[in-house]
Amino acid sequence: MIHGTGGGGKAEIIVALDEPSLDDARRLMDRLAGRAKFYKVGLQLFTAAGSAAVEEVKRHGARVFLDLKLHDIPNTVGSAVRSARDLGVDLCTIHLSGGPEMCAAAVSEAGDELRILGVTVLTSSNQATLEECGVHGSVGEQVVRLAKMGYAAGVRGFVASALELPLLRAELGKDPLLVIPGVRPAGTEVGDQKRTATPAEVVRGGATHLVVGRPISRAGNPAEAFDGILREILG
């Protein structure tokens, strides 16, 4: 079971396998052998390779963050979580906007070894995005609103941007996992992310896990890039 962080209490790096094929993902993991111990399998890779992607990560001796952002009726989400549990994944995302009944269904099927992560507001969204979707109030308010609802339904891990970390820690305390995507070392491209932060900023904010994709996977030397981020978060 995942209780906290690796690296002596510091935040742990999850490398995003946002790759078009299993062969591409395998090559990246081979280049990070002996370093990365946690990988994210998201929509792109899972759609291309299915459960084989999860099996390949485990074959490399690493843990699996299955990031499918499940959002459906409670029975369907619960069934999908049960399948993820049977695959042996460690973390699995749901969209908190599915509501408390859906969240509770996911938690009830997760068992003791799989931790459910509730996605609050995507890091590609900002205030204008929320307004266009009919959500009024600040991004921070919406993040806290969804997280508190999920926590009441039994969710004990959340995905948000680094900007909301202090708010979530203040509201929910030290217990939940806080998994932060959109991590960009200083000087790197932000891509389609709108709410980003550096690794050091994320650690200072109280994150337990950092999800890093392109700054590692698209680097000329992924192992060297990984080591640089690790040095930054270990201070």
Task: Write out the catalytic residue numbers.
Answer: 69
Q: Contact at 8 Å (CB) between 189 and 214?
A: yes
What is the distance between the alpha carbons of residues 31 and 139, in angstroms, rounded to a whole number? 37
Angle at 182 between CA 205 and CA 89, to 5 degrees: 90
Provide DSSP, 100-117: HHHHHHHHHHHTTT-EEE
Residue 64, C-beta contacts closer than 8 angstroms, at least 6 positions apart: 38, 39, 41, 54, 57, 58, 87, 88, 89, 90, 91
- Tokens 């337990």 found at: 208
What type of residue is 140?
Answer: G
